[in-house]
A = this chain, B = another copy of it.
Amino acid sequence: MTEFDDVLTITDGIAELTDGWVIGEAVNGGVLMSLATHAAADALRAADSHTDAVAFSTTFLAAAQPGPATVETQILRTGRSFSTAEVTVSQDDKVRLRHTATFSDLDANSEPVHLQETPPELPDPEQCAPAARGGFAEKIRLLDRVDIRIDPATVGWAVGQPANDGEMRAWIRFKDGREPDVASLPFFLDALPPVTFTFGALGWAPTIAFSGHIRSRPAPGWLRMRITTRNVIGGLFEEDAVIWDSRDRVVAQSRQLAGVRMPSAPVPADAAASASVPESV
Protein backbone atom coordinates (compact mmCIF):
# COMPACT_ATOMS: atom_id res chain seq x y z
CA MET A 1 0.00 0.00 0.00
CA THR A 2 1.28 3.44 -0.93
CA GLU A 3 0.46 6.49 1.18
CA PHE A 4 -1.98 7.65 -1.49
CA ASP A 5 -3.85 4.33 -1.57
CA ASP A 6 -3.85 4.41 2.20
CA VAL A 7 -5.74 7.73 2.36
CA LEU A 8 -8.32 6.40 -0.14
CA THR A 9 -9.17 3.42 2.08
CA ILE A 10 -12.68 3.40 3.53
CA THR A 11 -13.56 0.98 6.33
CA ASP A 12 -17.19 0.68 7.43
CA GLY A 13 -17.95 4.05 5.82
CA ILE A 14 -15.10 5.86 7.57
CA ALA A 15 -11.99 7.29 5.90
CA GLU A 16 -8.97 8.30 7.97
CA LEU A 17 -7.69 11.62 6.64
CA THR A 18 -4.05 11.48 7.65
CA ASP A 19 -2.22 14.75 8.25
CA GLY A 20 0.26 14.05 5.47
CA TRP A 21 -2.06 15.64 2.89
CA VAL A 22 -2.74 18.98 4.52
CA ILE A 23 -2.21 22.41 3.02
CA GLY A 24 -2.13 24.86 5.88
CA GLU A 25 -4.92 23.79 8.24
CA ALA A 26 -7.11 21.87 5.75
CA VAL A 27 -6.90 18.53 3.99
CA ASN A 28 -6.16 19.06 0.29
CA GLY A 29 -9.31 19.17 -1.83
CA GLY A 30 -7.81 16.99 -4.55
CA VAL A 31 -7.27 14.13 -2.10
CA LEU A 32 -10.91 14.44 -1.09
CA MET A 33 -12.03 14.37 -4.74
CA SER A 34 -10.03 11.18 -5.33
CA LEU A 35 -11.44 9.72 -2.12
CA ALA A 36 -15.04 10.52 -3.07
CA THR A 37 -14.57 9.20 -6.62
CA HIS A 38 -13.04 6.02 -5.21
CA ALA A 39 -16.02 5.57 -2.85
CA ALA A 40 -18.45 6.00 -5.76
CA ALA A 41 -16.51 3.42 -7.82
CA ASP A 42 -16.65 0.96 -4.92
CA ALA A 43 -20.43 1.34 -4.67
CA LEU A 44 -20.88 0.83 -8.41
CA ARG A 45 -18.50 -2.16 -8.41
CA ALA A 46 -20.68 -3.77 -5.73
CA ALA A 47 -23.63 -3.20 -8.09
CA ASP A 48 -21.76 -4.87 -11.00
CA SER A 49 -21.71 -1.57 -12.84
CA HIS A 50 -19.08 0.75 -14.40
CA THR A 51 -16.02 1.68 -12.35
CA ASP A 52 -14.04 4.10 -14.57
CA ALA A 53 -14.81 7.72 -13.67
CA VAL A 54 -15.27 9.90 -16.77
CA ALA A 55 -16.77 13.03 -15.17
CA PHE A 56 -17.12 14.34 -11.65
CA SER A 57 -18.16 17.55 -9.95
CA THR A 58 -17.50 18.58 -6.40
CA THR A 59 -18.92 21.39 -4.31
CA PHE A 60 -16.76 22.29 -1.32
CA LEU A 61 -18.96 23.30 1.60
CA ALA A 62 -16.47 23.41 4.48
CA ALA A 63 -12.77 22.63 4.89
CA ALA A 64 -11.95 19.09 6.00
CA GLN A 65 -9.54 18.50 8.90
CA PRO A 66 -7.16 15.60 9.52
CA GLY A 67 -8.99 12.78 11.33
CA PRO A 68 -11.88 10.42 10.57
CA ALA A 69 -14.48 11.37 7.97
CA THR A 70 -17.82 9.77 7.17
CA VAL A 71 -18.26 8.85 3.51
CA GLU A 72 -21.83 8.17 2.33
CA THR A 73 -22.61 6.96 -1.18
CA GLN A 74 -25.86 6.90 -3.12
CA ILE A 75 -26.18 5.31 -6.55
CA LEU A 76 -28.25 7.58 -8.80
CA ARG A 77 -28.22 5.48 -11.98
CA THR A 78 -26.78 2.27 -13.36
CA GLY A 79 -27.09 2.37 -17.12
CA ARG A 80 -25.81 0.53 -20.15
CA SER A 81 -23.25 3.22 -21.08
CA PHE A 82 -22.99 5.40 -17.98
CA SER A 83 -23.57 5.03 -14.27
CA THR A 84 -23.64 7.77 -11.64
CA ALA A 85 -23.23 7.97 -7.88
CA GLU A 86 -23.27 10.81 -5.39
CA VAL A 87 -20.95 10.98 -2.40
CA THR A 88 -21.14 13.09 0.74
CA VAL A 89 -18.08 13.53 2.97
CA SER A 90 -18.83 14.74 6.49
CA GLN A 91 -16.96 15.36 9.73
CA ASP A 92 -18.64 15.95 13.07
CA ASP A 93 -22.05 15.76 11.32
CA LYS A 94 -21.10 18.71 9.11
CA VAL A 95 -21.05 18.16 5.35
CA ARG A 96 -17.61 19.01 3.94
CA LEU A 97 -18.24 18.24 0.30
CA ARG A 98 -20.86 16.93 -2.09
CA HIS A 99 -19.53 15.02 -5.09
CA THR A 100 -21.28 13.54 -8.12
CA ALA A 101 -19.34 11.19 -10.38
CA THR A 102 -20.30 9.48 -13.63
CA PHE A 103 -18.62 6.25 -14.67
CA SER A 104 -18.24 4.36 -17.91
CA ASP A 105 -15.77 2.05 -19.65
CA LEU A 106 -12.65 4.13 -20.36
CA ASP A 107 -11.27 1.57 -22.79
CA ALA A 108 -14.36 2.19 -24.97
CA ASN A 109 -14.30 5.97 -24.38
CA SER A 110 -10.65 6.81 -25.02
CA GLU A 111 -10.29 5.64 -28.66
CA PRO A 112 -10.23 6.86 -31.37
CA VAL A 113 -8.66 10.29 -30.86
CA HIS A 114 -10.23 12.75 -33.33
CA LEU A 115 -8.86 15.91 -31.77
CA GLN A 116 -6.56 16.47 -28.82
CA GLU A 117 -4.63 19.34 -27.25
CA THR A 118 -0.89 19.21 -27.84
CA PRO A 119 1.16 19.00 -24.63
CA PRO A 120 3.29 22.01 -23.72
CA GLU A 121 7.02 21.96 -24.42
CA LEU A 122 8.69 21.72 -21.03
CA PRO A 123 12.37 21.63 -20.08
CA ASP A 124 13.41 18.26 -18.58
CA PRO A 125 12.24 17.79 -14.97
CA GLU A 126 15.86 18.25 -13.83
CA GLN A 127 15.85 21.73 -15.40
CA CYS A 128 12.59 22.73 -13.67
CA ALA A 129 11.98 24.30 -10.25
CA PRO A 130 10.96 21.70 -7.65
CA ALA A 131 8.12 22.80 -5.37
CA ALA A 132 9.37 21.97 -1.89
CA ARG A 133 8.44 22.66 1.73
CA GLY A 134 10.20 25.56 3.36
CA GLY A 135 9.50 29.27 3.55
CA PHE A 136 5.86 30.06 2.88
CA ALA A 137 5.30 26.43 1.83
CA GLU A 138 6.33 25.05 5.24
CA LYS A 139 2.75 24.04 6.12
CA ILE A 140 2.13 22.32 2.78
CA ARG A 141 2.86 18.77 3.91
CA LEU A 142 1.41 17.56 0.62
CA LEU A 143 4.72 18.60 -0.98
CA ASP A 144 6.46 15.72 0.83
CA ARG A 145 4.28 13.30 -1.15
CA VAL A 146 4.08 14.76 -4.61
CA ASP A 147 6.97 15.72 -6.88
CA ILE A 148 6.18 18.95 -8.75
CA ARG A 149 8.69 20.50 -11.19
CA ILE A 150 7.53 23.88 -12.46
CA ASP A 151 8.64 25.24 -15.83
CA PRO A 152 11.12 28.05 -14.99
CA ALA A 153 9.34 30.26 -17.53
CA THR A 154 6.21 30.21 -15.31
CA VAL A 155 7.73 30.55 -11.85
CA GLY A 156 8.76 34.22 -11.65
CA TRP A 157 6.22 34.65 -8.84
CA ALA A 158 8.53 32.69 -6.53
CA VAL A 159 11.18 35.42 -6.77
CA GLY A 160 8.83 38.39 -6.58
CA GLN A 161 8.53 38.80 -10.34
CA PRO A 162 5.09 37.45 -11.25
CA ALA A 163 4.44 37.12 -14.99
CA ASN A 164 0.82 38.26 -14.52
CA ASP A 165 -0.25 35.99 -17.35
CA GLY A 166 -2.36 33.33 -15.61
CA GLU A 167 -0.47 30.27 -16.84
CA MET A 168 1.68 27.65 -15.08
CA ARG A 169 3.21 24.49 -16.55
CA ALA A 170 4.77 21.62 -14.64
CA TRP A 171 5.75 17.98 -14.40
CA ILE A 172 4.08 16.02 -11.62
CA ARG A 173 4.22 12.52 -10.08
CA PHE A 174 4.11 10.81 -6.69
CA LYS A 175 7.40 10.94 -4.75
CA ASP A 176 7.17 7.29 -3.66
CA GLY A 177 7.10 5.97 -7.23
CA ARG A 178 3.39 5.08 -7.28
CA GLU A 179 2.39 5.31 -10.94
CA PRO A 180 -0.53 7.53 -12.02
CA ASP A 181 -3.90 5.87 -12.62
CA VAL A 182 -7.51 6.90 -13.04
CA ALA A 183 -7.99 7.01 -9.25
CA SER A 184 -5.19 9.54 -8.77
CA LEU A 185 -6.15 11.95 -11.59
CA PRO A 186 -8.74 13.92 -9.54
CA PHE A 187 -5.95 14.52 -7.02
CA PHE A 188 -3.36 15.63 -9.61
CA LEU A 189 -5.84 18.03 -11.26
CA ASP A 190 -5.77 20.22 -8.13
CA ALA A 191 -2.21 19.60 -6.90
CA LEU A 192 -0.30 22.56 -8.39
CA PRO A 193 -0.10 25.92 -6.62
CA PRO A 194 -3.09 28.09 -7.59
CA VAL A 195 -2.64 29.73 -11.00
CA THR A 196 -3.25 33.08 -9.29
CA PHE A 197 0.29 32.75 -7.90
CA THR A 198 1.31 34.01 -11.37
CA PHE A 199 -0.24 37.37 -10.41
CA GLY A 200 1.74 37.49 -7.19
CA ALA A 201 -1.33 36.48 -5.16
CA LEU A 202 0.54 33.93 -3.03
CA GLY A 203 -2.32 33.06 -0.67
CA TRP A 204 -4.70 30.13 -0.37
CA ALA A 205 -7.31 30.00 -3.14
CA PRO A 206 -10.32 28.15 -1.71
CA THR A 207 -12.21 26.11 -4.31
CA ILE A 208 -15.95 26.73 -4.47
CA ALA A 209 -16.86 24.24 -7.21
CA PHE A 210 -14.72 21.84 -9.21
CA SER A 211 -15.49 19.72 -12.25
CA GLY A 212 -13.20 17.21 -13.90
CA HIS A 213 -13.20 14.85 -16.87
CA ILE A 214 -11.06 11.72 -17.18
CA ARG A 215 -10.31 11.21 -20.88
CA SER A 216 -7.88 8.29 -20.95
CA ARG A 217 -6.01 5.86 -18.67
CA PRO A 218 -2.59 7.38 -17.91
CA ALA A 219 0.58 5.52 -18.92
CA PRO A 220 3.35 5.13 -16.31
CA GLY A 221 5.83 7.96 -15.85
CA TRP A 222 5.79 11.71 -15.32
CA LEU A 223 2.57 13.62 -16.04
CA ARG A 224 2.66 17.10 -17.56
CA MET A 225 0.14 19.78 -16.57
CA ARG A 226 -0.88 23.19 -17.73
CA ILE A 227 -3.13 25.38 -15.61
CA THR A 228 -4.59 28.66 -16.84
CA THR A 229 -7.05 31.38 -15.91
CA ARG A 230 -8.54 33.97 -18.24
CA ASN A 231 -11.02 35.67 -15.95
CA VAL A 232 -10.16 37.08 -12.52
CA ILE A 233 -13.24 39.04 -11.54
CA GLY A 234 -14.47 40.29 -8.17
CA GLY A 235 -12.26 38.01 -6.11
CA LEU A 236 -13.18 34.89 -8.08
CA PHE A 237 -11.32 33.12 -10.87
CA GLU A 238 -11.68 29.98 -12.93
CA GLU A 239 -8.70 27.63 -13.11
CA ASP A 240 -8.56 25.24 -16.04
CA ALA A 241 -6.17 22.29 -15.87
CA VAL A 242 -5.09 19.77 -18.51
CA ILE A 243 -2.95 16.69 -17.79
CA TRP A 244 -0.97 14.75 -20.39
CA ASP A 245 0.72 11.40 -19.79
CA SER A 246 4.10 10.12 -21.01
CA ARG A 247 2.51 9.04 -24.34
CA ASP A 248 1.39 12.68 -24.98
CA ARG A 249 -2.25 11.68 -24.44
CA VAL A 250 -4.70 14.06 -22.73
CA VAL A 251 -5.71 12.01 -19.69
CA ALA A 252 -7.70 14.55 -17.66
CA GLN A 253 -9.00 18.11 -17.66
CA SER A 254 -10.78 20.27 -15.13
CA ARG A 255 -12.27 23.64 -14.38
CA GLN A 256 -12.81 25.11 -10.95
CA LEU A 257 -14.16 28.36 -9.55
CA ALA A 258 -12.08 29.59 -6.61
CA GLY A 259 -11.57 32.66 -4.49
CA VAL A 260 -8.49 34.88 -4.50
CA ARG A 261 -7.31 37.99 -2.71
CA MET A 262 -5.48 39.89 -5.46
CA PRO A 263 -2.57 42.23 -4.72
CA SER A 264 -3.93 45.78 -4.86
CA ALA A 265 -1.28 47.01 -7.28
CA PRO A 266 -0.58 44.32 -9.90
CA VAL A 267 2.99 44.08 -11.17
CA PRO A 268 3.05 45.12 -14.86
CA ALA A 269 3.29 42.10 -17.15
CA ASP A 270 6.56 43.27 -18.75
CA ALA A 271 8.29 43.38 -15.37
CA ALA A 272 8.62 39.61 -15.53
CA ALA A 273 10.71 39.63 -18.69
CA SER A 274 13.94 39.85 -16.71
CA ALA A 275 12.86 37.50 -13.91
CA SER A 276 15.64 35.31 -12.63
CA VAL A 277 14.87 31.62 -12.26
CA PRO A 278 14.73 30.26 -8.69
CA GLU A 279 16.49 26.97 -7.94
CA SER A 280 13.44 25.77 -6.04
CA VAL A 281 10.04 27.16 -5.14
Contact with B along A24-55 (1 / 0, CB 8 A): 00000000000000000000000000000011
For A114, the chain B residues whose CB sits under 8 A away are: 199, 232-233, 262, 266
A63 at interface by CB-CB < 8 Å:
no
**B216 touching A233, Cβ below 8 Å:** yes
Q: Which of A111, A117, A232, A236 has the most B CB atoms < 10 Å from its CB?
A: A236
Report the minimum CB–CB distance from A79 to chain B (whole Å). 8
- Given contacts A108-B234, A233-B113, A250-B233, whether A208 and B54 have CB atoms under 8 Å apart is yes
Report the minimum CB–CB distance from A257 to chain B (whole Å). 5
A273 at interface by CB-CB < 8 Å:
no
Q: Which of A263-279 contact B (CB under 8 A)?
A: 266
A166 at interface by CB-CB < 8 Å:
yes
Contact with B along A78-117 (1 / 0, CB 8 A): 0000101010000000010010101000001111111111
Report the minimum CB–CB distance from A106 to chain B (whole Å). 8
**B112 touching A234, Cβ below 8 Å:** yes
Report the minimum CB–CB distance from A102 to chain B (whole Å). 6
- Which secondary structure dominates chain A's binding surface? strand
**B57 touching A77, Cβ below 8 Å:** no
Taken together, the copies of this chain in the complex come to: 2
A70 at interface by CB-CB < 8 Å:
no
Report the minimum CB–CB distance from A22 to chain B (whole Å). 22
A231 at interface by CB-CB < 8 Å:
yes
**B55 touching A208, Cβ below 8 Å:** yes
For A199, the chain B residues whose CB sits under 8 A away are: 114-115
| CB-based nearest B residue for A118 | B230
| CB-based nearest B residue for A105 | B234
A contacts, CB < 8 Å to B = 54-57, 59, 61-62, 76-77, 82, 84, 86, 95, 98, 100, 102, 108-117, 166, 199, 208-209, 211, 213, 215-216, 229-238, 250, 253, 255, 257, 262, 266
Listed by A's residue number, 15 A-B pairs whose Cβ atoms lie within 8 Å are A54-B208, A57-B57, A57-B209, A61-B84, A86-B98, A100-B100, A100-B209, A110-B234, A112-B234, A113-B233, A114-B232, A115-B199, A209-B211, A213-B238, A231-B253
List 8 A-B pairs, minimum CB-CB distance, nearest first.
Answer: A57-B57, A211-B211, A55-B209, A114-B232, A109-B234, A115-B232, A110-B234, A55-B257
